[in-house]
Amino acid sequence: MPEPIIRCRDVTHAYARGRHTVSVLEQLNLSIDSGDFVALMGPSGSGKTTLLNLIGGLESPTSGSIKIQGLEITQLPANSLADWRAASVGFVFQFYHLLPVLSAIDNVGLPLLLTTLSRKERASRAAAALELVGLADRSAHKPVELSGGQQQRVAIARAIVADPQLLICDEPTGDLDRQAADEILMLLQTLNQELHKTIVMVTHDQLAATYASTVLHMDKGCLLEAAT
């Protein structure tokens, strides 16, 4: 049986609020296979985004183990964790978080500044990623000159430009209208099916979840039943 790409074991996460400790995740166990497209659903405060952040190495759990492609990321020092994120994970956020002073192609090429690729190679790969998301003709546009759906496409191009195996998407359609949302979800589905990217997506949208191959429900920091 192949090793799952994501394996969480007894993950607990809590943070201090004043004198009190607020528990967000409780002894959570989760395995996601390579090439899966998982939708994480649940009410606000159920711990979906926290789980996503832990899997993406954006924060560390209070206790427990998180292995991604066999690598125990909870033990990595900050710089190694950053290097791992640069090489292995792409992030897509609800509000895109593109840099407003950079053009679409420069936003896409931003993660490649961390590589040893030449300027020409970086430009070529950024252009290819933009082409893949259907925005080749908008490469010189600033984010403010693009629609919400187009900005999210640029963000997806930025997430895949370094060719990571894992895509972490935090409500990628939460700020979009239905049509734009469907286009983004179809794009993610294409990346999953044709480029075999493993995708973990948090969403409140039942329709969005239908694009995923697996839907996980969370409540009060625990995973409920899984539906495929």
Partner 1 sequence: MNRATFIMNGFRRHTARTILTLASLMIAFLLFMLIRAISAGLAGGVTTGGVERLVVDARYSMTDNLPMTHIRAISELPGVADVTPMVWFGGYYKDPQTTFTTLPVDPEGYFNVFPDADVDPLSYTRFLASKQAVLVHETLVEKHAWKVGQVIPLMGDIWPKEDGSWDWEFVLAGSYRTAEGSRIPKAFLLRYDYFNDSVVEWVKDQAGWAVVSLVQGQDAQAVIDSIDSLFENSSDPTKSMTEDAYGQEMANEVGDISLIAMAILGAVFFTLVLLTNNVVSLSFHERVAEFATMKSLGFHDSAVAAMVMFETLLLCLFGAALGIVAGFLLEPHVQTSLAMVLGFFKMTWMHAIQALAIATCLGIVVGTLPALRARRLSIAQALRKVNG
Question: Residue 69's closest CA among 121, 7, 130?
Answer: 7
Residue 49 in contact with partner 1, rule: CB under 8 A: yes
User: Whats the size of the chain, residue-wise?
Assistant: 228
Residue 140 in contact with partner 1, rule: CB under 8 A: no
Closest CB to partner 1 among residues 10, 59: 59
Residue 207 in contact with partner 1, rule: CB under 8 A: no
Look up residue 117 and give its two tokens.
């690729």
CA 4 to each of CA 69, 70, 107, 201, 210: distance values in angstroms, whole numbers, following the listed order: 7, 8, 31, 17, 22
Closest CB to partner 1 among residues 4, 61: 61
Closest CB to partner 1 among residues 92, 209: 92
Which position among 27, 31, 72, 97 is part of the footprint of partner 1 (CB under 8 A)?
A: 97
Inter-residue contact 14 to 24 (CB < 8 Å): yes
Residue 86 in contact with partner 1, rule: CB under 8 A: yes
What is the phi/psi pair of residue 39, to 5°? -105, 130
Q: Which stretches of the chain bind partner 1, using CB under 8 A? A: 49-50, 53, 56, 58-59, 78-79, 82-87, 91, 93-95, 97, 99-102, 106, 109-111, 113-114, 119, 122, 158
